[in-house]
Amino acid sequence: MEFHTIATDVGFTEGPVFTQAGDIVFTSIDRGRVYLVRDGETSSLGLTGAGPNGATEGADGSIYVAQNGGQFPAHRWPGVTGGVQAISPDGLVRTISTDPCFPNDLCFGPDGFLYVTDPSRGPRRDDGRLWRIDVTTGESELLTSTAWYPNGIGFGREDDAMYVAQGAEGRILRFPFAPGGKLGTPELFVQLAHGRPDGFAWDVDGNMVIGAITGTAPGDLQVYGPDGKLLDIIAPGEGTKYTNVAISPDKQLIVTDSDKGQVLSAEWPSAGLLLHPFRNKA
């Protein structure tokens, strides 16, 4: 698979998103900024301050950002705490909720609510929380606390379960929804071949592409089938931190290469699975 660089010198990259307008949006954690790629040109979409981490698009065209509040590799900014922010198409940044402490990823669910992973991030802490947020009112619901570091989050082809990356254990867990919208007992879906899982994305065939963090050796992308079995391991380059991925409906794979401060692109065999809230409108 051949990778091309579509953005460079953009800091510790994360949160790639294909927008409905056809643009690519990604975050830069250490620069406190969200970037937009349009017609091959990179520009600033909005200045969030602190540490913008995961990102996703809402029905109103705003980009919703998991703001980690300045956790490494970000920097503390006056007046910016952890929580969820939104960037309007005109670049206006607003705060949706400050209930999550140090969130790192988020996605919309089929119910229209925003789901957020919120690790504690302390030097001796490896726990966290999962939240559900109404972006209209800002009301937040704590779904569960975890005794492990939650990271990537998303919905697969089915709407009755949510997937969450379990950091140090190298797993992707599947959380079924119980009656009343509560989370059921998590089930093991993927055990990574190696490394820690970060962000992930699906294609329409049900294959999950995971950014795997190794820390020392070159990182990679790991591909798992609908049954959770390993299909392929892809090495985009020499970076150790391929933190997140996105797949477009026209089969473009985007990878954030945080080590090198760049964003990569390659052709994927299948179309990407549309994200909520746009999936049911397709």
- Cβ atoms of 237 and 3 closer than 8 Å: yes
**Residues 16-53: tens digit of each pLDDT:** 999 999 999 999 999 999 999 999 999 999 999 999 99
For the cut 70, the answer to whether the pLDDT of residue 230 exceeds it is yes
Confidence (pLDDT) at 216: 78
- Identify the bridge partners of residue 133 per DSSP, sorted by sequence position: 114, 140
DSSP three-state, residue 161: strand
| Beta-carbon-side half-sphere exposure of residue 111 (alpha carbons within 13 Å) | 13
> Residue 135, SS3?
coil
Per-residue b/e over 24-45, b at no fewer than 16 CB within 10 Å? bbbbbbbbbbbbbbeeeebeeb
Q: What mean pLDDT is reported for the chain?
A: 95
Helix (H) or strand (E) holding 220, with range, is: strand 220-224
Average pLDDT over residues 219-241: 96
pTM for the model stands at 0.97
At CA 12, angle to CA 247 and CA 7, rounded to 5?
55
Q: Could you report the per-residue pLDDT of 198-217, keeping only the tens digit for each?
A: 999 999 999 999 999 987 78
Q: Which residues contact 67 (CB under 8 A, 6 or more apart)?
A: 48, 50, 51, 52, 53, 80, 81, 82, 83, 84, 85, 103
Domains of the chain, CATH where assigned: 4-281 (2.120.10.30)
- Looking at the chain, the whole-number percentage of residues with pLDDT higher than 70 is 98
Q: What percent of the chain has pLDDT over 90?
A: 91
SS3 of 39, please? coil
Q: DSSP letters of 71-95?
A: -TTS---TT--SEEEEE-TT--EEE
pLDDT of residue 180: 87
Higher pLDDT, 121 or 172: 172
Distance CA 142, CA 160 (A): 18
Q: Is the pLDDT score of 125 beyond 80?
A: no
pLDDT 10s digits, 49-90: 999 999 999 999 999 999 999 998 999 999 999 999 999 999
